[in-house]
């Protein structure tokens, strides 16, 4: 069996490795604590509440026949402008 710690090898000491893991965990806990202290928990409570939100109002789509006259006029104007730009008379 190979010993865990050999002097002169590239391995890290186990105490240093555990200290690094502990430092990361402490940093995460401090960040979470600061978030609660600064912003509070009102938004978290609202997110976790079991109240059903109101359904979004459904927007009705306009019928295609209602705007057909306006679209036809717009298309005719565009075609006439294109012919004029190309040198054809309308």
Residues 40-65: pLDDT tens digits? Answer: 878 777 777 766 666 667 777 766 66
- What lies within 8 Å, CB to CB, of 4 at 6+ separation is 11, 14
Domain that holds residue 31: 13-43
Above 70 in pLDDT, residue 15? yes
Strands (E) located in 1-90: none
The domain total for the chain is 1
Tell me how far apart the alpha carbons of residues 34 and 85 are, in angstroms, rounded to a whole number.
65
19 inside domain: yes
CA 3 to chain centre: 49
> DSSP secondary-structure letter at 8?
T
29 inside domain: yes
CA separation, residue 55 to residues 44, 50, 52, 58, 66 (Å): 21, 15, 9, 9, 28
Token pair for 76: 């005719």
17 inside domain: yes
87 inside domain: no
5 inside domain: no
pLDDT given for residue 70 in this prediction: 78
């Amino acid at each position: 069996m190979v010993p865990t710690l050999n002097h002169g090898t590239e391995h890290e000491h186990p105490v240093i490795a555990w200290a690094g893991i502990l430092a990361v965990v402490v940093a995460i806990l401090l960040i979470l604590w600061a978030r609660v202290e600064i912003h509070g928990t009102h938004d978290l409570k609202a997110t976790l509440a079991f109240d059903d939100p109101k359904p979004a109002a459904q927007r009705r789509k306009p019928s295609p026949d209602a705007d057909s006259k306006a679209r036809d006029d717009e298309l005719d104007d565009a075609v006439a402008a294109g012919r004029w730009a190309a040198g054809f008379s309308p």
